[in-house]
Amino acid sequence: MGAAPHDGLFRATFGNVEVARSHLAGLLPGRLAEGIDWSTLAVAPASFVDDALAQDHADILYTVSLEGEPALLYLVLEHQSQADPWMPLRLLHYVASVWKRWLTERPEGARWAPPVVAVVLHHSREGWRRAPELASVFSPETQALLGDLLPRFRFLLDDISDADAATLSRRASHSLATLCLLALSSSRTWDRLVAAVPYMRRAVQALPGTPEHREALARLWRYLYIALAEPVDRETVRSILHAIAGPEYAEDAMSWAEQLKRDGREEGLELGRRQGREEGREEGHDEGRLSHARALLYRFAGERAVSLSEARRQQIDACCDVQQLDAWILRAATAQSEADIF
């Protein structure tokens, strides 16, 4: 699982303590969040991590001070086609391994074990359908029979499976967290990706453009280019990247797209149909790009509920300048009216 593109984006985003702090502070229950000294948040040293478990899924363990005492926050990504019903057992296994390591290396005179709060960032087609607790792996009959004799273990579930782009964009205070959530949630279908573009564009605009942020955006461009589950031709994906990046980062986004193209990573993204053109013919290639750009422009206008006049539609259909179409696409991504586009 460690090789999945979702994992790389997740670890790079939430391995940034500033991003993790803003995300977790808004996610944890109020009293718990208030009791944490967020200035002490740090990624746990490797000695805390069980190597045998580290390869199972994308996860990050943090150390933090909770009302003056040491504690740990364990953030896990589950991005699969279907929810894993055994996730509570896997989480318990990991948490127990952390405590086992702590027991071996505990400070002299320690009276209490550090609490470990597990948080699962979940995304699947159907969403999580069970209670976020260990009891969910046992039958109702077993739960009723054993009651409190069953181990009690609960985790905080952050299920973004059904969350729309508008909801996710309001949740995370740091723009990189917002972009990560939107990218993960929109990577399954073309419709979700198109709907997320205006919100991703706003998050990109909020970044100050430091080298660190450009590096983070490079990971985003790569993820969006290769992770979409539905087959979409690469020229359409390039137009999507351009609309998200805007003039500030368009050159970076296109450079990454070209690099990935050269690396051959666009394989599997090509749609079976070629808009009636022959492979490799420059004239057909150009017409294909124009056709995709026009279609994407209409799509964005529709998503934004922008009504286009017949004159503007004729102008779009007659336009043979891909750069002009890309400029209109960029404006359409956040447009409120026809005048915002043209």
- Give me 229's structure tokens: 């589950």
Q: What is the pLDDT of residue 266?
A: 47
Write the Ramachandran bin of 270: left for phi over 0, alpha for psi from -120 to 50, otherwise beta. Answer: beta
In total, the chain counts a number of residues equal to 342
* Residue appearing with tokens 């009504």: 307
Alpha carbon distance, N-terminus to C-terminus of the chain? 45
Q: What is the pLDDT of residue 17?
A: 96
Question: Quick check: 57 and 101 in contact, CB under 8 A?
Answer: no
Tell me what percent of the chain is helix, strand and coil, each rounded to the nearest 5.
55, 10, 30
Instruction: Report the DSSP pairing between strands 69-79 and 58-66.
Output: antiparallel
Q: What is the pLDDT of residue 48?
A: 59
pTM: 0.80
Question: Quick check: 131 and 159 in contact, CB under 8 A?
Answer: no
Q: What is the pLDDT of residue 155?
A: 96
- Give me 283's structure tokens: 């004239």
Cα dihedral value 251, 256, 257, 262, nearest 10 = 130
- Give me 149's structure tokens: 């004799």
Partners of 118 in the β-ladder = 74
Pure H helices in 206-280: 211-227, 234-263
Mean pLDDT per block of 10 residues along the chain (342 residues) reads 74 94 94 96 74 62 95 91 88 91 88 94 91 95 95 94 91 89 88 89 91 91 79 74 86 74 53 40 57 80 85 89 82 85 90
